Amino acid sequence: MLAYRHAFHAGNHGDVLKHIAMMLVLRYMNQKEKGWRFVDTHAGAGGYSLHSTYAKKNGEYTQGVGRLWGRTDVPAPVADYLDLIRQFNGGSTLKQYPGSPAIANALCREQDQLRLFEMHPTDYRVLASYLAEEPGVEVKMSDGFEGLKSRLPPPTRRGVVLMDPSYELDRDYSRVVTALRDGMQRFAEGTFMVWYPLVGKLPAVQLPKRLKALAPKRWVHARLTVQPFDARGFGMAGSGVFIINPPHTLHAELNSLLPWLHEALKQFDGGGWVLEQKAD
Ligand SMILES: C[S@@+](CC[C@H](N)C(=O)[O-])C[C@H]1O[C@@H](n2cnc3c(N)ncnc32)[C@H](O)[C@@H]1O
């Protein structure tokens, strides 16, 4: 049985980076009428109470979305993100945080599809009760790396894959690379997003390099460091998102966003942000 529960981490600085990047990608997809498919290989519960004992244990969201909540001087992508969270909360009190499936569900249109995989039985039940009956949505309690294979390519040949494992097992780093390689063979033009934690573990440090080696012509890599690295290997200093076949607008959008986001989320006088790309 897997021990990881995203409820402890929902709304933390890693979620902020991942979910804003994801919204920028899906907003771009919505500029065309043709439908898209979003595959979330590691979907989580879909939504989280920030008043639960899980969320309160370390209060991670207070150092993530909590730092942005209530601010009015925010760049457009952050305003869009905060609006979506306000809608999810039904008002301006921050009680719940939407996971990636809820964010995709908020942005999808009649012609779009969600394919969601979650292995933890409790999180799967919550996710399924929330979204399984929605038109165009499939929720599966099975391995997302495996399930991805039969969901690609989408019939419209427009799609976004989010790979966001817990990295509870070191083999997740290698499985990301293998699943990406396979996914890109099935759907070369698809947009693939990988989120990863900045932790002092060799497979984590090596992952961006491995993704670059795998990626074809176009990618964007964004990383935010908000806490000092813990020499004992505890905690998460920040996180990164690696996007293959990104929207053409994404690099410029992240370039204006990341300095602001770093300033807003940094927990010490240091860290920083990195933005790299390979373009046509
Ligand atoms: C980081 S969380 C996902 C968070 C979610 N994507 C979001 O942004 O809101 C990772 C999730 O993957 C689940 N999980 C772990 N291994 C899995 C696998 N092989 N296939 C599908 N889900 C898995 C965990 O139970 C956990 O809920």
Residue at 87 is within a domain: yes
DSSP 151-181: H-S-TTS-EEEEE-----STHHHHHHHHHHH
Radius of gyration of the chain (CA): 17
Give the model's pLDDT for residue 195. 98
Asked whether residue 132 is assigned to any structural domain, the reply reads yes
Q: How far is CA 152 from the centre of its chain?
A: 19
In short, whether 143's Cβ falls inside 6 Å of ligand 1 is: yes
Q: Does the residue 223 lie in any domain?
A: yes
Query: What residue owns the CA closest to ligand 1's atom 6?
Result: 43
Identify whether 164 is a catalytic site residue. yes
119 lines ligand 1 (CB under 6 A): yes
Kindly report the pTM of this predicted structure.
0.97
19 CA: nearest ligand 1 atom = 8
Structural domain containing residue 270: 6-278
268 closest CA partner among 63, 66, 65: 63
Exactly one of 15, 123, 164, 172 is catalytic; name it: 164
Q: What is the pLDDT of residue 94?
A: 97
Classify residue 10: in a domain, yes or no.
yes
The pLDDT of residue 1 is 59
Does residue 2 have its Cβ closer than 6 Å to ligand 1? yes
| Domain count across the chain | 1
Element (H, E) at 262: helix 250-265
Q: What span, in angstroms and rounded, lies between the C-alpha atoms of 19 and 257?
A: 13
Q: Is 172 in the pocket of ligand 1 (CB under 6 A)?
A: no
Task: Specify the pLDDT at position 123.
Answer: 97
Kindly give the distance from the C-alpha atom of residue 187 to the centroid of ligand 1, in angstroms, as a whole number: 22
**Element counts in the chain: helices (H) and strands (E):** 10, 10
> Is residue 220 situated within a structural domain?
yes
CATH number, position 119: 3.40.50.150
Is residue 114 domain-resident? yes
pLDDT computed for residue 230 by the predictor: 79
Pocket of ligand 1 contains residue 99 by CB under 6 Å? yes
Q: Which of 50, 39, 57 is nearest to 15 (CA)?
A: 50
Task: Count Cα neighbours of 179 within 13 Å in the Cβ-side half-sphere.
Answer: 28
Nearest residue to 211 (alpha-carbon basis) of 250, 247, 244, 171:
244
> Probe ligand 1: pick from 5, 6, 13, max atoms within 8 Å of CB?
6
Question: Is residue 226 in a domain?
Answer: yes
Q: Considering the domain boundaries, does residue 1 fall inside one? A: no
Block mean pLDDT (10 aa), the chain, length 280: 87 98 98 98 97 88 96 96 98 97 98 98 97 97 98 98 95 97 96 96 94 89 94 84 97 98 96 94
